[in-house]
Structures are given as structure tokens and as C-alpha cells.
Amino acid sequence: MADNKQNAPRRRMGGPGAGIVPGEKAKNFKGTLGKLLQRFGKYPYQVAFVLLASILGTVCFVMGPEILRRATNLLQTGLQAKLIGTGEIQLGKIGAILAGLLAVYGVSALMHLAEGLIATQVTQKLCFSLRREISEKISRLPMRYFESQPIGDILSRITNDVDTLSQSMQNCFTQFIFSVTSLIGITVMMFVTSWQMTLIAFALIPISGGLIGGIMRVSQKYFKRQQKYLGEINGQVEETFAGQTVVKLFGYENTAMETFKETNSSLFASAWKSQFLSGLMMPLMNFVGNLGYVGVVVFGAVLTMNGTLMVGDIVAFVQYIRNFTQPIQQLAQVGNQFQSMAAAAERVFEFLDESEETQDALNLKQPDELRGAVTFDNVHFGYLPEKTIINSFNCAVQPGQTVAIVGPTGAGKTTLVKLLMRFYDVDSGAVLVDGHDIRELPRHALREGFGMVLQDTWLFSGTIMENIRYGRLDATDEEVVAAAKAAHVHHFINTLSEGYETHLSEDAENLSQGQKQLLTIARSILADRPILILDEATSSVDTRTEERIQKAMRNLMQGRTSFVIAHRLSTIRDADIILVLRDGDIVEQGNHAQLLERDGFYARLYNAQFAVG
């Protein structure tokens, strides 16, 4: 209940702290809300029905006490007469009124029920379609976006933000309608019953408004502070636990504990204060409620003395007063929820509005099967427009040749690969595959020419079979097994208790790095593409597995054009073309012997390994 994120408080059930936690604020509140409302416009009938049902339901809800008042007044006069001995209680009439009242409450419940069901349908469908749009958007965004944006941030838009929306949208809109309608309805009914007592009720507005506002303002301060210290604690804990071994090895435990204790007590101070202040809301609002109650009962009683009022009026008023403070409180909470909803919606819309990859023109020709000839023709490229890193690069690769890309750490060895796969477009010049400028090929047709094995092995949660088959979705089981055999991983898979049906857990923790790499190689073998991109970095793999990987890669490279980000000297030596990179640019190219002869950067790099230290 108090945990807003998980279980946003339902209507009329606000607990301590509910809706009080300050949310992030949207930068453009109105615009975002407008966009959100536009989406609701797709369901005009449903929205109209929800509005209507909500208003009708609330009107019935508000009428209840008024009808009850009639029954009670009848009861009161009857009883009074009976006590004096001058009349009887009209049970029949009272019964009829009560039956009518029950019916009215029934209608109110039915209306709210229907409203809730339809509102649920609309908001959840809306969130579902938002999620779908996001997932489709991911496919259309340029690579650049993912390399500049932390994954956690995008992830939180897809899940947390949409979740916040789904939790708060329905609440916000239905609660808003309910609160406003019932405020109006109750005010009218109160005036009808007794204007004198209505004034008492109105006296409560500034009191409760002031209390709610005051508490919210002060407690938000502490909530923010708590949030800040929570973040700090989070950082400290994360850092210390991640580096726990180092902390111990360097005898840093005591210092770490001291720092932690300091933040911890700051957190304690802000935690109990925010908890306390938000917890005050309930007793204080109860008190205001009681104040109204006592006021109504006392002054109501005084008014009965001269016959202005009857007991039934007081009973009705007590109910109105109870229901009167609630919508005020709810409106305050809804206001806050609106804020966090708008902030979440804004982040989602921001993502959906990101500029997309230039789409393929429709009239692009479908190439015949690619053979694998690659030409870089006077290529210039830079990640930032003002910073070109590749300058006039020319290189022609024949089908079946192996290209080794070498260079020190951080020299930008993957840039060439990204250009080749058209994750980025060249600034000038052209990359040609089989003589076609790759910008004139449909993206999927181009990419279907490539197989890829990266250092960061990517496997998804699913069976081993599914993961290998990812290379070619229509491959038979036999073909998958054949690919696994070619990748020297078949034997290992068979040692697993469930073989090919073994389910890989999140991050495939049940496999070693080397085994994961073998699986991705099998995937690429299965894909059977004319051009290969391989990343050889296998630093965390033991020698035997490495040997297996090497064999598997050699199997894979057979007869294909291969671009290898090379670390192994044997690969480099055997390559047809070696591209030497330094600070992003290609500084030398040629084969091993040619480059050694030139005695330039490559030669220095090569010799460095054996310059004994």
C-alpha cells in the first residue's frame, strides 16, 4: 500500500504515505498529457462510457445519504409519535424507501464496476501497444543511439515507465472523475439538506487543505532527502561489495564501515522523519473528519431544537462530511500521481520520438546471392561530425580472403566492422559488396550476407537448440547438430543432462565463456553466410578450449571472406591482408611479411611481444 511503485493505492484506499512520495516531474507536463489523451482518443466509445458510468455511479453514490435521510426522518417522527403515544412507526413506507436505497447503491456499484472493467481494458491495452511500439522502435533506431545511451536507461523506459503508466493511468483518471463528481455532488446535496451545516463543512476545506498541503510539502523535503541518502547508501554498498576482496586485501574494512555508518545514520534521520510526516496524514485527516462530525452533530442538534432539522438530516450529514474530506485528500494524491505519470509518459514518448535510421528506399534492388567481395573506396568516417577518424581508406578484398584487423587496445578495431554492416554510414566514399554500394542494398539483404562471432557472446534465455538455430530459423534438428559438431561443441552439449534441450539461464551462468563462444560459432556455421566477422579476443578462455575455438573458427572461415579482429599471431600471420589501426585510423596495410619489412608500427607491435621484460 505504501509502496507506490508496486501496488499503487487503489481508489478510496489511500494509506499512509500513499501518493505523498514526490515523483519526478515532467519537463513538458501539458504536452505530454495531451499526447497521452490523444492515445485515449482511439477508444472514443469506451472513454465516453467510462466518463458517463463514473458520473452516474458517483451521482447514485451521493444520492444514497439523501434517501437514507428520508427513511431516518420517517423513523424518527414515527418513533417520537409512538413514544408520546400519538402515532406509529410506518414500517412499510420505511421498508420501501430502504429497498429503493439498496437499489440505488446497487446501480452505483454496477456503474463503478462497469467503469472499472472498461477503464482497465483501455489502459492496459494502451500500455501493451506502447510496449509494442517501443519494441518496434528499437529495431528502427540507429546503432549510434544504443552506443550513446546506457542500456539501463532504455530498459527502464520499457519496463518501469510503462509499468508506472499502467499502474497510475487508471487510478488517475477514474479517481479524478470520482473525486470531482463527488465533491460537486456532495456540495449540492449538503446545501439541499441544510445550508447552515454546509457552512460548517466548508470551514473544513481550508483546515484540511492546509494540513494536507503543509504535510506534503514538509514530508516531500524529507522524502527527497531520504531518496538521496538511499542512493548514497546504494552506491557505497554496491562499490564496497563489488570490490569486497580488494577492500579486505588492502585492510580498508574499518574505513569503509565508518563511512557507511555515517551515511546510514543520515539515512535513518531522514527515513524516520519522512515516515513520520507521511504517517501523520491519516490521524490528522481523521481528526479533521471528527471535527466535522462533532460540529455537524452538535450544531445539527441545536438546529433540531427549533425544528429546522431532523435527526435523519444529521445522519445524512455525518455521511456527507465523511465523504467530503476524502475527495479533497484524493485530489491532492491524484495531483502527485499525475506528475509521476506524466514524467513516465514523457520518457516513453521521448524514446518513441528519437530520430530513426534512414529507412531503405522502396525501389532498392534485391541482390543475387552475395559472393563476398568487399571494397572500401576512399572511405572517410568519424563518430562525431567534427572528428574524422578514418581518412581516405582504400582496400579491396577478394571473396574468400582473410582480413586481420590489428592494433593496440582502444584503437577502434570494431569501427570497420560497424561500417561494413552499415551500423553506421560512411561520411564520404563508399563501401561496396560485390560491387554494390551497400547504401543501395536493402539493409536486411546486406546483413544477411554476414555471419558474426563477437567477444561479448550473446545468448538468450532459451534452450541450446534454440540458441544455435537462431542462425537459421528454418534449420532442422540434424542441421543444428551438424553445426554444433563443426564447432566442436557437440560433445560438450551431450555431457549436459538435457543435451540440446538444456535451458540457458539468465546470462547463461551455467556455461563458461569458452563454451558460450563455441555456441555462437555453431550459430554462425549454421547461418552459412558468405562474409564473416570474428572477434578473436579469448583472454578468459583456457588453452584447450581456445584450441577448440581456433579449430572451430578455422572450419567456419573455410571459403568465406573473413574480417578478424585478431589477437593470435598465427591468425595475423596467415591473413591475406592485415589492417593496422592506431587511434581509429588505418595506418598500415599489407601481409605479414610486407609489413615486417616496412618496419613501421606493425613491426614494433609485433616485436613488443617478445621484448623480454
Partner 1 sequence: MKILGYLKECLGSLVLVILLFVLQVQCDLAIPSYTRDMVDIGISQSGIPDAVPERLSQQTFRDVTLLMPDADVTVLADSYRREDSNAPAAVQALLLSFPRSEDKKGQRAHLSEILRTPMALLAIGPIAERLPEDTPAEMRERVEAMAAEFDITKIRAAEAANPAAKDEILKNVDAEFDKLGEFADMQLNTYSTMRVQMEYKALGMDTNKIQKDYLYKTGGMMLLLSLASIICGIIVVLLASRAAAGVARNLRARLFSRVLSFSRAETDKFSPASLVTRSTNDIQHIQLALVMLIRIAIYSPLLGAGAVWNVLQTKTGMSWILGAAVGVLLLMLIAVNFTVIPKFRIMQDLLDRLNLVSREILTGIPVIRAFSREKHEEKRFDTASRSLLKNQLFVNRAMSTLMPLFFFFMNALMVTIVWFSAKGMDTGSIRMGDMMAFITYSMQIVMSFMMLAMIFVFLPRAEVAAGRINEVLATEPTVLDPPEPLDDVSDWKGEIAFSNVSFRFPGAEENVLENISFTAQQGKTTAILGGTGSGKSTLVQLIPRLYDVSSGRVTIDGTDVRDISQRKLRSLIGYVPQKAVLFSGTIDSNLRFGTDELAQEEVVRAARIAQAEDFILEKDEQYGSEISQGGTNVSGGQRQRLAIARAIAKNPKVFVFDDSFSALDFKTDAALRQALHTEISNAALIIVAQRISTVLRADRIIVLDEGRMVGCGTHEELMKSCPAYQEIARSQLSDEELSKGGGQNG
Site residues (CB under 8 A) for partner 1, limited to 56-75: 57, 61, 64, 68, 71-72, 75
Supply the minimum distance, in Å, between the C-beta of residue 358 and partner 1.
Answer: 15
Residues 147-206 that bind partner 1 (CB under 8 A): 151, 154-155, 158-159, 163, 166, 170
Contact flags string 566-605 toward partner 1, x per CB under 8 A = ---xx--x------------------------------xx
Of 106 and 559, nearer to partner 1 (C-beta) is 106
Of 259 and 392, nearer to partner 1 (C-beta) is 259
d(CA 210, CA 198): 19
Among the listed ranges 198-206, 366-374, 446-454, 556-564, the one in contact with partner 1 (CB under 8 A) is 446-454
Supply the minimum distance, in Å, between the C-beta of residue 216 and partner 1.
Answer: 16
Of 27 and 365, nearer to partner 1 (C-beta) is 365
Answer whether 389's CB lies under 8 Å from 584's CB.
Answer: yes
Among the listed ranges 332-340, 368-376, 380-388, 541-549, the one in contact with partner 1 (CB under 8 A) is 541-549
Enumerate residues 6+ apart whose C-beta is below 8 A from 572: 404, 406, 566, 578, 592
Of 34 and 87, nearer to partner 1 (C-beta) is 87
Supply the minimum distance, in Å, between the C-beta of residue 31 and partner 1.
Answer: 26
Q: By CB under 8 A, is residue 46 in contact with partner 1?
A: no
Give the torsion through C-alpha atoms of 474, 477, 481, 487, to 10 deg.
20
d(CA 411, CA 551): 27
**The one among 20, 26, 56, 119 contacting partner 1 by CB under 8 A:** 119
Burial 266-281 (b: 16+ CB within 10 A, else e): bbeebbebbbebbbbb
Answer whether 604's CB lies under 8 Å from 610's CB.
Answer: no
Answer whether 340's CB lies under 8 Å from 164's CB.
Answer: yes
Place of cell 508496486: 6
Tally Cβ neighbours within 10 Å of residue 421: 20
Residues 379-408 that bind partner 1 (CB under 8 A): 408
Rg (CA), the chain: 36
Residues 506-535 that bind partner 1 (CB under 8 A): 506, 512, 514, 527, 533
Closest residue by Cα to residue 600 from 588, 612, 613: 588
Q: By CB under 8 A, is residue 239 in contact with partner 1?
A: yes
Residues 490-509 that bind partner 1 (CB under 8 A): 506
Residues 310-329 that bind partner 1 (CB under 8 A): 311, 314-315, 318
d(CA 503, CA 460): 10
**The one among 98, 395, 596, 603 contacting partner 1 by CB under 8 A:** 98
Q: By CB under 8 A, is residue 361 in contact with partner 1?
A: no
Supply the minimum distance, in Å, between the C-beta of residue 230 and partner 1.
Answer: 7
**The one among 7, 358, 398, 510 contacting partner 1 by CB under 8 A:** 7
Of 158 and 482, nearer to partner 1 (C-beta) is 158
Q: Is 264 helix (H, G, I), strand (E, B) or coil?
A: helix
Q: By CB under 8 A, is residue 234 in contact with partner 1?
A: yes
**The one among 91, 192, 199, 203 contacting partner 1 by CB under 8 A:** 91
**DSSP letter (8 states) at residue 161:** I
Supply the minimum distance, in Å, between the C-beta of residue 29 and partner 1.
Answer: 25
Answer whether 25's CB lies under 8 Å from 343's CB.
Answer: yes
**The one among 260, 331, 502, 591 contacting partner 1 by CB under 8 A:** 260
Site for partner 1 (CB under 8 A): how many residues? 172
d(CA 408, CA 291): 77
- 52-56 contacts: CB < 8 A, separation 24 or more? 53/111, 53/112, 53/114, 53/115, 53/118, 54/111, 54/112, 54/115, 54/174, 54/177, 54/178, 54/181, 55/177, 55/181, 56/107, 56/111
